[in-house]
Amino acid sequence: MKSAEISFSLLLIFSLLFSFATPTPVKDIDGKQLQSGVKYNILPVIRGQGGGLRLAFTGRINTTVSNCPLDVVQSKSEIDNGLPVTFSPTNGSNSKSVIRESTDLNFKFVASTTCVQSTVWKLAGFDDLTRRYFVTTGGVEGNPGRLTVSNWFKIEKIGVDVISYKLVLCPMVCNFCKVICKDVGSYHDGKGYLRRLVLTDDAPLYVMFKKV
């Protein structure tokens, strides 16, 4: 009897340790686990806050001739699901793996553009005019480390709703780098799009994921 109790106790301990070591999978609006390399739309949870996420030239940099670089924005139309996005963890974009909460990920729009840059998300440099950090594209996919530290975002759960999340920048791909840790929110620029994605301290954008 004692041997059985000891075995059960050890099994319980190992189960708890495994649950702490393995982050929870992110779920889409159908309750299914997100997978790397699969296309999803990122949509606002709260109705009345616009549509999905897409690319747009916002005039953040004075290069209006080529209309580049392209920033990450939220459509003002609620019926616009935006552009599909794929997620890839630090272990490689080609591995078909489950996307998990609070882990470093590359976000990449699946879209063709006329700009000579990738569609991988990254943090833009500090914008002196607005005093903010915006989310743009042109990042490097994979190669986690010091040179790509601004290219890694996280998905974190909010509340008890199984499909509600927020996006976070707090990269862990470089142990000795000084990094910014903030939520991703939105900023109204008054230029035709409802919001531009931006780092925030107190107003994260609550999102959900819909498989394309």
- List, for residues 51-75, the tens digit of each pLDDT value: 999 999 887 765 555 788 899 999 9
Whether 176 is in a domain gets the answer: yes
Nearest CA to 109 among 27, 167, 52? 52
The continuous run of DSSP H or E covering 200 comes out as: strand 195-200
- Residue 193, pLDDT above cutoff 80: no
Residue 16 in this model has a pLDDT that exceeds 60 = no
Overall average pLDDT of the 5-33 stretch = 68
Residue 97 φ then ψ, to 5°: -125, 160
Residue 38 lies in a domain: yes
* Residue percentage of the chain with pLDDT more than 90: 60
Looking up residue 91, the CATH number of its domain turns out to be 2.80.10.50
Dump pLDDT digits (tens) for 85-103.
999 998 765 557 899 999 9
Give the model's pLDDT for residue 14.
Answer: 46
- Give pLDDT tens digits for 162-173: 789 999 999 999
User: 169-203: b or e for each residue (b if 16 or more CB lie within 10 Å)?
Assistant: bebbbeeeeeeeebbbbbbebeeebbbbbbbbeee
Q: Which of 151, 89, 90, 88 is nearest to 123 (CA)?
A: 151
Domains: count for the chain:
1
CA-nearest of 167, 205, 211 to 74 is 205
**pLDDT higher at 161 or 169:** 169
Which tokens belong to 14? Answer: 């190992």
- On whether residue 57 sits in a domain, the answer given is yes
Is residue 129 a part of any domain in this protein? yes
User: In terms of Cα–Cα distance, which of 47, 58, 29, 40 is closest to 198?
Assistant: 58
Lowest mean per-residue pLDDT among 28-37, 159-168, 172-181, 188-197: 188-197
Residue 188 lies in a domain: yes
Establish if 118 belongs to a structural domain.
yes
Closest by CA to 89, choosing from 43, 53, 141, is: 141
Residue 160 pLDDT: 76
Higher pLDDT, 171 or 7: 171
pLDDT digits (tens, 9 = 90+) for 112-148: 898 888 999 999 999 888 899 999 999 999 989 999 9
Domain assignment of residue 6, yes or no:
no
Cα separation, 135 vs 119, in Å, equals 11
CA distances from 23 to 20, 99, 128 (A): 7, 9, 37
* Enclosing domain of residue 170: 24-211
17 domain-assigned: no
